[in-house]
Amino acid sequence: MSQKEPYVLAVDVGTQSVRAIVFDREGNQIARGRKISQPYYSLEPGWAEVPAEQFFDDSCQVIRQVLDQLGSRVDQLKAVAFTANRDNIMPLDDDGQPLRDWITWVDTRRSPEAMEALKKELTGVDLAIYLYDYAFFSMVAYRSKFNWIKYNQPDIYARAKRYVSLTGYLNLKLCGVFRDARGMQVGYVPYQAKRQDWYRIKGVFKFLGVRRDQLPDLVAPGEEIGRITEAGHQACGLPIGLPVIASAGDKQCETLGGGVFDPSQAVISYGTMATLGTTTLHHIEDKKLKFYTFASCIPDAWNPEYSIYRGYWLVTWFCRQYAKESGFPEFLKRMNEEVVKVPPGSNGLFVFPFWTIHPGLYPHGKGMIAGWVDRHREVDLYRAILESIAYALREGLELIEAKSRTKVKKLTVVGGGSQSDAAMQLTADIFNLPAVRLASGEVSAVGAAINAGVWAGFYDSYQEAVGVMTREEKVFWPDADNVAIYEDLYTGIYKKAYKSNEKLFKELERYSGKSLE
CATH at 38: 3.30.420.40
SS3 of residue 420 by DSSP: coil
Which residues, 6+ apart, have CB-to-CB distance to 32 below 8 Å? 19, 20, 21, 22, 65, 66, 69, 442
- Full residue range of the structural domain in which residue 160 is found: 7-245
Other beta carbons less than 10 A from residue 490's beta carbon: 17
Last residue of a domain, one of 245, 267, 285: 245
* Whether 176 and 128 share a structural domain: yes
* Whether 206 and 271 share a structural domain: no
Mean pLDDT for 318-334 is 85
* Whether 179 and 278 share a structural domain: no
* Whether 145 and 230 share a structural domain: yes
* Whether 232 and 332 share a structural domain: no
Q: Is the pLDDT at 3 greater than 80, yes or no? A: no
Pairing of strands 292-295, 302-308: antiparallel
Last residue of a domain, one of 223, 245, 267: 245
Domain count, the chain: 2
Within a domain: 24: yes
Within a domain: 185: yes
* Whether 258 and 282 share a structural domain: yes
Question: Which residue, among 445, 410, 451, has the nearest Cα to 431 in the 3D structure?
Answer: 410
460 class by beta-carbon count within 10 Å (0-12 exposed, 13-18 middle, 19+ buried): exposed
Least confident of 328-332, 352-356, 436-440: 328-332
CB-based contact 148:104 (threshold 8 Å): no
Q: What is the dihedral of CA 247, 250, 252, 256, to 10 degrees?
A: 80
* Whether 308 and 267 share a structural domain: yes
Q: Residue by residue, what is the 3-state secondary structure of 390-416? A: HHHHHHHHHHHHHHHCCCCCEEEEECH
* Whether 280 and 208 share a structural domain: no
Q: How confident is the model at residue 514 (pLDDT cuts 50, 70, 90)?
A: low
Within a domain: 390: yes
* Whether 231 and 286 share a structural domain: no
pLDDT at 194 (0 to 100): 94
* Whether 258 and 216 share a structural domain: no
Q: Is the pLDDT at 516 greater than 50, yes or no? A: no
Within a domain: 94: yes
- pTM (2 d.p.): 0.91
Last residue of a domain, one of 198, 219, 245: 245
CA 294 centroid distance within chain: 11
Regarding predicted confidence, which is higher, 476 or 320? 476
Which residue type is seen at 255? T
Q: What angle do CA 94, 100, 105 make, to 5 degrees?
A: 115
CB-based contact 447:253 (threshold 8 Å): yes
Within a domain: 146: yes
* Whether 126 and 186 share a structural domain: yes
Within a domain: 446: no
* Whether 322 and 227 share a structural domain: no
